[in-house]
Homo-oligomer: A and B are copies of this chain.
Amino acid sequence: MLHCLIIGAAGMLGDGLAKRLVKDGQIGGRKVGRMTLFDIVAANTPSAEEIGVTVETGDISLPETATDLIASRPDVIFHLAAIVSGEAERDFEKGYRINLDGTRHLFEAIRKAHEADGYCPRVVFTSSLAVFGSPLPDVIGDDYIITPRSSYGTQKAIGELLLADYSRRGFLDGIGIRLPTICIRPGKPNAAASGFFSGILREPLAGLPATLPVDTSVRHWFASPRAAIGFMAHAAAVSSELLTERRNMTMPGVSATVADEIEALRTTAGEAAVALIRHEKDPAIEAIISTWPQAFDAGQALSLGFEADESFEAIVRAYLEDYAPAVERAS
């Protein structure tokens, strides 16, 4: 019976992951018997008849928090907790405290438990495309250099390095997964530079207007929340024997232009939805987006069985099924 710990369980992906584990009931054929859901605020408790679920709250940047979380020796640890990109850029100290020190305290707590009794959990660490920085090739391979251009990306890149070293040492059995940009992100519009990628679909699907601040030729790398949650669940199940020393890898995704997004909206929701998109360039956002990756060759992840969404239209359909079942569909 596996005990799974989700650190960062109150977020959109953490919440979805908890529900997914309840639904699956197992990881790699081993039954999930217990889940601990940790975050700075209380996570939702999924309804689970056969799984004992504990919700805990605390500050992951304090060393004792990780020690407490490790005391019960969870078999699988999903480490999703992070201050997001914008906040890590605005508040330098907080970003390093949560994203770097928090991760290091967790790995150190695991190392000390390993030295005490041989403990060696599978650790799934969610990294980000933000580890990549321009200049970038059109298609980024698994061998391309990591040169982040944000403090958030730097902190994630350092987490990847630590994960690899602690795994190599045998203290933990880590796998780092760089998630594509999540689209369609459910919920309300936000101020992130990437917000429009979801907004130009989510808002029109709800009959609301949305602003597109970049050209329709802009290309980026996407995964649905469903696919991202699938990556995490699969990462927990990948056999240790298949993992090389390269423990961190880019997840497969859908490379799509804004025009592809709009076409998928047209197919799923009709011309009236497309008409709700207002084109209004924002040079500041255009400048930021111009440095972002467009596509990857995620060969290592594909060889390990990670599966992307089938198309951008599949991304929109997944959103409608998972988050907006009440929305009327075209045709």
Q: A residues within 8 Å of B by Cβ?
A: 92, 111, 133, 142-149, 151, 154, 157-158, 161-162, 164-165, 168-169, 245-246
Contact = CB atoms under 8 A, between A and B. Distances in A.
Given A133-B245, A169-B92, A161 B142 contact: no
B92 A147 contact: no
Contacts of A245: 133, 147, 149
Contacts of A147: 164, 245-246
Specify how many copies of this chain sit in the oligomer. Answer: 2
Given A154-B161, A158-B161, A145 B144 contact: yes
A174 to B, nearest CB: 13
Contacts of A144: 143, 145
A151 B169 contact: yes
Contacts of A149: 168, 245
Nearest to A131: B161
A142 B143 CA distance: 11
A165 B161 contact: no
- Which 9 residue pairs across A and B have the least CB separation, nearest first? A154-B165, A143-B145, A154-B161, A158-B158, A157-B161, A145-B145, A151-B165, A158-B161, A147-B246
Nearest to A149: B245
Contacts of A158: 158, 161-162
Nearest to A143: B145
Given A133-B245, A158-B158, A245-B133, A165 B145 contact: no
A158 B169 CA distance: 17
A145 B245 CA distance: 13
Nearest to A156: B161
Contacts of A92: 111, 169
A158 B168 CA distance: 16
B143 A146 contact: no
25 contacts: A92-B111, A92-B169, A133-B245, A142-B145, A143-B144, A143-B145, A144-B145, A145-B145, A145-B146, A146-B146, A146-B161, A147-B164, A147-B245, A147-B246, A148-B161, A148-B165, A149-B168, A149-B245, A151-B165, A151-B169, A154-B161, A154-B164, A154-B165, A157-B161, A158-B162
Contacts of A162: 154, 158
Nearest to A142: B145
A150 to B, nearest CB: 8
Nearest to A247: B147
Contacts of A164: 147-148, 154
Contacts of A111: 92
A79 to B, nearest CB: 17
Q: Which of A111, A148, A165, A245 gathers the greatest number of chain B CB atoms within 10 Å?
A: A165
